Structure 1
Protein backbone atom coordinates (compact mmCIF):
# COMPACT_ATOMS: atom_id res chain seq x y z
CA UNK A 1 0.00 0.00 0.00
CA UNK A 2 2.86 2.40 0.86
CA UNK A 3 4.44 1.66 -2.54
CA UNK A 4 1.24 2.62 -4.40
CA UNK A 5 0.93 5.84 -2.38
CA UNK A 6 4.56 6.68 -3.18
CA UNK A 7 4.03 6.09 -6.91
CA UNK A 8 0.87 8.23 -6.92
CA UNK A 9 2.66 11.00 -5.01
CA UNK A 10 5.63 10.94 -7.41
CA UNK A 11 3.33 11.03 -10.44
CA UNK A 12 1.43 13.98 -8.96
CA UNK A 13 4.67 15.85 -8.33
CA UNK A 14 5.88 15.25 -11.89
CA UNK A 15 2.59 16.55 -13.33
CA UNK A 16 2.60 19.54 -10.95
CA UNK A 17 6.20 20.48 -11.75
CA UNK A 18 5.42 20.58 -15.47
CA UNK A 19 2.40 22.78 -14.78
CA UNK A 20 4.52 25.20 -12.76
CA UNK A 21 7.04 25.70 -15.58
CA UNK A 22 4.68 26.27 -18.51
CA UNK A 23 1.17 25.62 -19.72
CA UNK A 24 -0.83 26.11 -22.89
CA UNK A 25 -4.24 27.78 -22.85
CA UNK A 26 -6.69 28.84 -25.50
CA UNK A 27 -7.98 32.39 -25.71
CA UNK A 28 -10.75 31.59 -28.15
CA UNK A 29 -12.30 35.04 -27.93
CA UNK A 30 -9.16 36.82 -29.14
CA UNK A 31 -9.53 37.24 -32.87
CA UNK A 32 -7.32 40.22 -33.60
CA UNK A 33 -6.76 40.75 -37.30
CA UNK A 34 -3.29 42.29 -37.74
CA UNK A 35 -4.61 43.98 -40.90
CA UNK A 36 -7.58 45.61 -39.13
CA UNK A 37 -7.32 49.29 -38.24
CA UNK A 38 -5.58 50.13 -34.95
CA UNK A 39 -7.27 52.84 -32.90
CA UNK A 40 -5.22 54.49 -30.14
CA UNK A 41 -6.40 57.14 -27.68
CA UNK A 42 -4.18 58.80 -25.07
CA UNK A 43 -3.65 61.97 -23.05
CA UNK A 44 -0.46 62.85 -24.98
CA UNK A 45 1.32 62.03 -28.23
CA UNK A 46 5.02 62.72 -28.88
CA UNK A 47 6.42 62.30 -32.38
CA UNK A 48 10.09 62.32 -33.34
CA UNK A 49 10.19 63.28 -37.03
CA UNK A 50 13.81 62.17 -37.34
CA UNK A 51 13.29 58.59 -36.16
CA UNK A 52 9.60 58.39 -37.03
CA UNK A 53 8.89 57.18 -33.50
CA UNK A 54 5.53 57.90 -31.91
CA UNK A 55 4.89 57.57 -28.17
CA UNK A 56 1.38 57.71 -26.72
CA UNK A 57 1.35 58.44 -22.98
CA UNK A 58 -1.26 58.71 -20.24
CA UNK A 59 -4.38 56.55 -20.14
CA UNK A 60 -3.54 54.84 -23.43
CA UNK A 61 -6.29 52.64 -24.88
CA UNK A 62 -5.61 50.59 -28.00
CA UNK A 63 -8.28 48.76 -29.95
CA UNK A 64 -8.06 46.38 -32.90
CA UNK A 65 -11.00 44.14 -33.69
CA UNK A 66 -12.10 42.41 -30.47
CA UNK A 67 -8.79 43.23 -28.76
CA UNK A 68 -8.62 46.08 -26.19
CA UNK A 69 -5.35 46.97 -24.51
CA UNK A 70 -4.71 49.76 -22.03
CA UNK A 71 -1.37 50.96 -20.65
CA UNK A 72 0.46 53.94 -19.23
CA UNK A 73 2.53 54.33 -22.40
CA UNK A 74 2.64 52.79 -25.89
CA UNK A 75 5.53 53.22 -28.31
CA UNK A 76 4.69 52.70 -31.98
CA UNK A 77 7.36 51.13 -34.20
CA UNK A 78 6.82 51.47 -37.94
CA UNK A 79 7.93 49.16 -40.76
CA UNK A 80 10.66 51.02 -42.68
CA UNK A 81 9.61 49.56 -46.04
CA UNK A 82 5.83 50.00 -45.91
CA UNK A 83 5.40 52.73 -43.29
CA UNK A 84 2.71 50.60 -41.60
CA UNK A 85 2.72 49.90 -37.88
CA UNK A 86 4.97 46.90 -37.25
CA UNK A 87 5.02 46.67 -33.44
CA UNK A 88 3.54 48.29 -30.38
CA UNK A 89 5.47 48.31 -27.11
CA UNK A 90 3.29 48.94 -24.05
CA UNK A 91 4.50 49.68 -20.52
CA UNK A 92 3.35 51.21 -17.26
CA UNK A 93 0.87 48.50 -16.32
CA UNK A 94 -0.85 46.73 -19.20
CA UNK A 95 -4.40 45.36 -19.28
CA UNK A 96 -5.73 43.20 -22.13
CA UNK A 97 -9.48 42.65 -22.32
CA UNK A 98 -11.60 40.44 -24.59
CA UNK A 99 -15.22 39.37 -24.36
CA UNK A 100 -14.43 36.52 -21.94
CA UNK A 101 -10.88 37.07 -20.63
CA UNK A 102 -8.77 39.74 -19.00
CA UNK A 103 -4.99 39.79 -18.54
CA UNK A 104 -2.65 42.13 -16.68
CA UNK A 105 1.14 42.51 -16.88
CA UNK A 106 3.94 45.03 -16.44
CA UNK A 107 4.72 45.26 -20.19
CA UNK A 108 3.50 43.94 -23.54
CA UNK A 109 4.94 43.66 -27.05
CA UNK A 110 2.34 43.45 -29.81
CA UNK A 111 3.96 42.35 -33.08
CA UNK A 112 1.45 43.04 -35.84
CA UNK A 113 3.75 41.52 -38.50
CA UNK A 114 3.91 38.17 -36.66
CA UNK A 115 0.40 38.35 -35.14
CA UNK A 116 1.71 37.79 -31.61
CA UNK A 117 1.33 39.47 -28.24
CA UNK A 118 3.92 38.87 -25.51
CA UNK A 119 2.93 40.00 -22.03
CA UNK A 120 5.71 40.03 -19.41
CA UNK A 121 6.11 40.73 -15.72
CA UNK A 122 3.64 39.35 -13.19
CA UNK A 123 1.09 38.21 -15.77
CA UNK A 124 -2.37 37.47 -14.40
CA UNK A 125 -5.01 35.97 -16.69
CA UNK A 126 -8.63 35.54 -15.61
CA UNK A 127 -11.14 33.45 -17.53
CA UNK A 128 -14.51 33.56 -15.79
CA UNK A 129 -13.94 32.45 -12.20
CA UNK A 130 -10.57 30.81 -12.99
CA UNK A 131 -7.20 32.53 -12.83
CA UNK A 132 -3.66 31.74 -13.95
CA UNK A 133 -0.47 33.68 -13.30
CA UNK A 134 3.06 33.43 -14.72
CA UNK A 135 6.12 35.47 -15.62
CA UNK A 136 5.21 35.61 -19.33
CA UNK A 137 2.30 34.91 -21.65
CA UNK A 138 2.78 34.62 -25.42
CA UNK A 139 -0.42 34.75 -27.49
CA UNK A 140 -0.79 33.76 -31.16
CA UNK A 141 -3.59 36.13 -32.13
CA UNK A 142 -4.54 34.23 -35.30
CA UNK A 143 -5.35 31.02 -33.39
CA UNK A 144 -6.04 32.35 -29.88
CA UNK A 145 -3.50 29.88 -28.44
CA UNK A 146 -1.48 31.16 -25.51
CA UNK A 147 1.55 29.83 -23.69
CA UNK A 148 2.23 30.73 -20.06
CA UNK A 149 5.85 30.44 -18.94
CA UNK A 150 7.83 30.91 -15.76
CA UNK A 151 6.44 29.78 -12.42
CA UNK A 152 2.87 29.16 -13.52
CA UNK A 153 0.19 29.11 -10.84
CA UNK A 154 -3.45 28.24 -11.51
CA UNK A 155 -6.77 28.38 -9.74
CA UNK A 156 -9.55 26.51 -11.54
CA UNK A 157 -13.12 27.06 -10.42
CA UNK A 158 -15.26 24.33 -11.93
CA UNK A 159 -18.64 25.81 -10.95
CA UNK A 160 -20.76 24.71 -8.05
CA UNK A 161 -18.85 25.06 -4.77
Structure 2
Protein backbone atom coordinates (compact mmCIF):
# COMPACT_ATOMS: atom_id res chain seq x y z
CA UNK A 1 0.00 0.00 0.00
CA UNK A 2 2.95 2.42 0.28
CA UNK A 3 3.02 2.83 -3.51
CA UNK A 4 -0.68 3.70 -3.43
CA UNK A 5 -0.06 6.24 -0.67
CA UNK A 6 2.76 7.82 -2.66
CA UNK A 7 0.65 8.00 -5.82
CA UNK A 8 -2.30 9.46 -3.96
CA UNK A 9 -0.15 12.05 -2.19
CA UNK A 10 1.49 13.04 -5.47
CA UNK A 11 -1.94 13.43 -7.08
CA UNK A 12 -2.90 15.89 -4.37
CA UNK A 13 0.39 17.76 -4.49
CA UNK A 14 0.14 17.97 -8.24
CA UNK A 15 -3.05 19.94 -8.01
CA UNK A 16 -2.16 21.71 -4.79
CA UNK A 17 1.32 22.97 -5.49
CA UNK A 18 1.24 24.96 -8.72
CA UNK A 19 -2.22 26.52 -8.67
CA UNK A 20 -2.16 30.01 -7.35
CA UNK A 21 -5.01 32.40 -6.91
CA UNK A 22 -4.50 35.62 -5.03
CA UNK A 23 -1.00 34.43 -4.09
CA UNK A 24 -2.16 31.46 -2.02
CA UNK A 25 -1.46 27.86 -3.01
CA UNK A 26 -4.34 25.41 -3.23
CA UNK A 27 -4.81 23.78 0.16
CA UNK A 28 -3.36 26.02 2.82
CA UNK A 29 -2.56 23.17 5.22
CA UNK A 30 0.35 20.78 5.10
CA UNK A 31 0.07 17.07 4.31
CA UNK A 32 2.48 14.46 5.62
CA UNK A 33 3.09 11.76 2.97
CA UNK A 34 3.43 9.25 5.80
CA UNK A 35 -0.10 9.97 7.03
CA UNK A 36 -2.40 7.00 6.54
CA UNK A 37 -4.62 6.96 3.47
CA UNK A 38 -8.22 5.92 4.07
CA UNK A 39 -10.17 4.56 1.11
CA UNK A 40 -13.90 3.85 1.23
CA UNK A 41 -16.11 2.58 -1.57
CA UNK A 42 -19.21 0.50 -2.09
CA UNK A 43 -17.16 -2.21 -3.79
CA UNK A 44 -13.66 -3.18 -4.93
CA UNK A 45 -12.86 -5.28 -7.99
CA UNK A 46 -9.31 -6.59 -8.38
CA UNK A 47 -8.29 -7.99 -11.76
CA UNK A 48 -4.93 -9.73 -11.64
CA UNK A 49 -4.97 -10.52 -15.37
CA UNK A 50 -4.89 -6.85 -16.38
CA UNK A 51 -3.27 -5.48 -13.20
CA UNK A 52 -6.07 -3.19 -12.04
CA UNK A 53 -7.99 -2.45 -8.89
CA UNK A 54 -11.29 -0.62 -9.29
CA UNK A 55 -12.99 1.15 -6.40
CA UNK A 56 -16.65 1.67 -7.33
CA UNK A 57 -19.49 3.65 -5.79
CA UNK A 58 -19.18 6.62 -3.47
CA UNK A 59 -15.37 6.44 -3.47
CA UNK A 60 -13.78 8.66 -0.85
CA UNK A 61 -10.02 8.83 -0.38
CA UNK A 62 -8.72 10.82 2.59
CA UNK A 63 -5.21 11.73 3.68
CA UNK A 64 -4.84 14.35 6.39
CA UNK A 65 -7.08 17.24 5.42
CA UNK A 66 -7.12 16.28 1.74
CA UNK A 67 -10.22 14.53 0.38
CA UNK A 68 -10.95 13.08 -3.07
CA UNK A 69 -14.46 11.91 -3.95
CA UNK A 70 -15.59 10.21 -7.16
CA UNK A 71 -17.98 7.48 -8.27
CA UNK A 72 -15.08 5.38 -9.59
CA UNK A 73 -11.30 5.22 -9.11
CA UNK A 74 -9.21 2.83 -11.21
CA UNK A 75 -5.70 1.97 -10.03
CA UNK A 76 -3.39 0.43 -12.65
CA UNK A 77 -0.31 -1.59 -11.65
CA UNK A 78 2.79 -2.44 -13.69
CA UNK A 79 3.15 -5.84 -15.38
CA UNK A 80 4.72 -7.31 -12.26
CA UNK A 81 1.86 -6.01 -10.12
CA UNK A 82 4.33 -4.35 -7.78
CA UNK A 83 3.94 -0.63 -8.37
CA UNK A 84 1.17 1.69 -9.43
CA UNK A 85 1.61 3.24 -12.88
CA UNK A 86 -1.55 5.35 -13.01
CA UNK A 87 -4.79 6.24 -11.30
CA UNK A 88 -8.00 7.54 -12.86
CA UNK A 89 -11.01 8.99 -11.08
CA UNK A 90 -14.17 9.32 -13.19
CA UNK A 91 -17.82 10.25 -13.04
CA UNK A 92 -17.40 13.67 -11.44
CA UNK A 93 -14.36 14.25 -9.24
CA UNK A 94 -14.09 16.57 -6.25
CA UNK A 95 -10.78 17.35 -4.56
CA UNK A 96 -10.89 19.37 -1.33
CA UNK A 97 -8.08 20.70 0.83
CA UNK A 98 -9.09 22.95 3.68
CA UNK A 99 -11.18 25.78 2.22
CA UNK A 100 -10.04 25.11 -1.37
CA UNK A 101 -11.75 22.81 -3.88
CA UNK A 102 -11.24 21.53 -7.44
CA UNK A 103 -13.90 19.78 -9.51
CA UNK A 104 -13.82 18.04 -12.90
CA UNK A 105 -15.47 15.19 -14.75
CA UNK A 106 -12.26 13.12 -14.65
CA UNK A 107 -8.83 13.23 -13.04
CA UNK A 108 -5.96 11.03 -14.15
CA UNK A 109 -2.45 10.73 -12.76
CA UNK A 110 0.39 9.12 -14.70
CA UNK A 111 3.19 8.31 -12.32
CA UNK A 112 5.76 7.73 -15.08
CA UNK A 113 5.18 11.10 -16.77
CA UNK A 114 4.49 12.89 -13.50
CA UNK A 115 1.40 14.56 -14.94
CA UNK A 116 -2.04 15.06 -13.48
CA UNK A 117 -4.81 15.89 -15.94
CA UNK A 118 -8.26 17.04 -14.84
CA UNK A 119 -10.77 17.30 -17.70
CA UNK A 120 -14.36 18.32 -18.28
CA UNK A 121 -15.81 21.42 -16.66
CA UNK A 122 -12.77 22.06 -14.45
CA UNK A 123 -13.50 24.47 -11.61
CA UNK A 124 -10.98 25.54 -8.97
CA UNK A 125 -12.25 27.60 -6.02
CA UNK A 126 -10.05 29.38 -3.51
CA UNK A 127 -11.93 31.63 -1.14
CA UNK A 128 -13.85 34.08 -3.32
CA UNK A 129 -11.65 33.42 -6.39
CA UNK A 130 -12.43 30.87 -9.08
CA UNK A 131 -10.72 29.48 -12.18
CA UNK A 132 -12.62 27.46 -14.78
CA UNK A 133 -11.61 25.69 -18.00
CA UNK A 134 -12.06 22.40 -19.81
CA UNK A 135 -8.61 20.98 -18.99
CA UNK A 136 -6.07 21.41 -16.23
CA UNK A 137 -2.67 19.77 -16.76
CA UNK A 138 -0.15 19.74 -13.93
CA UNK A 139 3.46 18.69 -14.50
CA UNK A 140 4.79 17.58 -11.13
CA UNK A 141 8.42 17.49 -12.29
CA UNK A 142 8.40 21.03 -13.66
CA UNK A 143 6.08 22.39 -10.97
CA UNK A 144 3.80 23.95 -13.57
CA UNK A 145 0.10 23.98 -14.33
CA UNK A 146 -1.73 24.85 -17.52
CA UNK A 147 -5.43 25.44 -18.05
CA UNK A 148 -6.87 25.11 -21.56
CA UNK A 149 -10.31 25.45 -23.13
CA UNK A 150 -11.69 28.96 -22.67
CA UNK A 151 -10.20 29.83 -19.29
CA UNK A 152 -12.42 31.98 -17.09
CA UNK A 153 -11.63 33.55 -13.76
CA UNK A 154 -13.01 35.90 -11.15
CA UNK A 155 -10.36 37.49 -8.98
CA UNK A 156 -11.29 39.40 -5.85
CA UNK A 157 -8.38 41.66 -4.85
CA UNK A 158 -10.02 42.51 -1.51
CA UNK A 159 -9.49 38.98 -0.14
Instruction: Confirm or deny a common fold (TM above 0.5).
Output: yes
Which structure 2 residue ranges, 5 or more long, are not aligned?
1-17
- Taking only aligned residues, the RMSD between alpha carbons, in angstroms, comes to 3.0
Q: 1-side partners of 2:31 and 2:142: how far apart?
A: 9
Q: 1:141 deviation in Å?
A: 4.7
1:97 corresponds in structure 2 to 96
Q: 1:36 deviation in Å?
A: 7.4
Count, aligned residues: 137
1:47 corresponds in structure 2 to 46
The structure with higher relative contact order (CA 8 Å, sep 6+) is 1
Q: Is the 8 A contact 2:19 2:26 kept in 1?
A: no
TM-score under structure 2 normalisation? 0.70
User: What pairs up with 1:1-161 in 2 under 5 angstroms?
Assistant: 25-26=19-20, 28-29=25-26, 38-64=37-63, 67-81=66-80, 83-141=82-140, 145-159=144-158
Deviation digits for residues 47-82 of structure 1 (CA, Å, limit 9, x no counterpart): 122222111011111235654211010111012256
Deviation digits for residues 87-125 of structure 1 (CA, Å, limit 9, x no counterpart): 111101000112342110000102234443210000011
Kindly name which structure, 1 or 2, has the bigger radius of gyration based on alpha carbons: 1
Q: 1-side partners of 2:87 and 2:144: how far apart?
A: 20
